[in-house]
Amino acid sequence: MYQSFPDLPSDVYYTQEELARHNGNDPELPLWICVNGKILEYAGLPSSEDPDHESQKRFHSFVQPQFGGREIDYGLSKALYEPYYKVPLHENDLSDEHRAMIEDHYFTMQFRNNQKNYWKPIGRLRRSDNTANSSS
């Protein structure tokens, strides 16, 4: 059974354009990423005295330029090879099950060992064809 992000608002949707504006380049806008159609907002770095500061700083410096303001499923799928699914050649190759596995992996990575979570689920991505992502 795959894990999913908790406390996701069921009636909040954002467009691809709104997601793209939250790429981390504008200090007035929080950093957003999208995992399996679910938009997560970065809470910001902990204080420099916090034991998580350096690891979160490194993680943020990787995530922001690579995935800020974007859907990250395809990028992560290339790094998370699972023999059950083929290695995707493009984003359309990702099945719903593959996307759920990616969300589960990201969820596990962020919530392992009861660590503080620096990503808050804030809504879902509305697809360009005016449909919401149907993934749970």
Going residue by residue through the chain (136 aa), what tens digit of pLDDT does each one get?
A: 777 877 889 899 999 999 999 999 999 999 999 999 999 999 888 889 988 889 889 988 988 999 999 998 888 777 766 666 666 777 777 778 778 888 887 777 766 655 567 888 999 999 765 555 544 4
| Cβ-contact 94, 73 below 8 angstroms | yes
Radius of gyration for the alpha carbons in the chain, expressed in angstroms and rounded: 15
Residue-range domains of the chain with CATH: 13-125 (3.10.120)
> Strand pairing partners for 132?
126
Task: At 24, list the tokens.
Answer: 């981390």
What pLDDT is attached to residue 128?
Answer: 66
* Half-sphere exposure of residue 120: CA atoms within 13 angstroms, side-chain side: 8
Q: 129 phi and psi, to 5 degrees?
A: -90, 20
What pLDDT is attached to residue 106?
Answer: 74
What distance in Å separates the CA atoms of residue 132 and residue 35, rounded to the nearest whole number? 14
Residue 100 to residues 5, 103, 110: CA-CA distances in angstroms? Answer: 11, 5, 15
Specify the amino acid at residue 131: T
What pLDDT is attached to residue 11?
Answer: 94
Any idea of the CA torsion for 105, 106, 107, 109, to the nearest 10 degrees?
A: 90
What pLDDT is attached to residue 83?
Answer: 64
